[in-house]
Structure 1
Amino acid sequence: MAMQAQDIEDLIRARFPQAKITITDLAGDGNHYAAEVVDESFRGQSRVTQQRAVFAALGDKMAGKNGELHALALTTRVPE
């Protein structure tokens, strides 16, 4: 079952309530998304640590072949 962009944003927002979050459906199929998450809490963290935190917020939605979210191109950064 495909996920909606709003569902992805809601999961990320629960962990990063002050973040600027942009979700884009790359293929129009509800399975291949890009997300940009801009949050102050990322300051001083490596990019890998930032991205792991976002993926953790998605929980099991990306878990293997049974995950609802097939692919997520993720960009994280701190606000300018």
Structure 2
Amino acid sequence: MPMAAEDIEGLIRQSIPDAQVQITDLAGDGDHYAARVVAESFRGISRVERTRRVYAALGGRMGGELHALQLTTDVPAGA
């Protein structure tokens, strides 16, 4: 069963409280999403570690409930 964008956003925010999360349904099917996650807590850590933290927030749903996620992570600008 597909995941709702709101569920993905909620899981990420629960695990990364300072995150600004933008979810886009790429195919309109609830299975293929893009996520942009911006968090101050990402500052100073590698992109690989940022990705790991987001995937950990999803609790193993990748490849199951959530088929595909195009992920972009960043830190807030100007800080």
| CA deviation map 1:12-42 (0-9, x unaligned) | 0101112110000000000000000000010
Structure 1 unaligned spans of 5+: none
Counterpart in 1 of 2:17?
Answer: 17
Counterpart in 2 of 1:71?
Answer: 68
Structure 2 unaligned spans of 5+: none
Count of paired positions: 77
How far apart, CA to CA, are the structure 1 residues paired with 2:47 and 2:40?
A: 13
How far apart, CA to CA, are the structure 2 residues paired with 1:79 and 1:51?
A: 16
Q: 4+ runs of 1 displaced by more than 4 Å?
A: none
Identity %: 68
Q: What is the TM-score when the length of structure 2 is the normalising length? A: 0.94
Counterpart in 2 of 1:61?
Answer: 61
- 2:15 maps to a residue whose letter is R
CA RMSD of aligned residues (A): 0.7
For the 8 Å contact 2:34–2:70, the answer to whether it is kept is yes
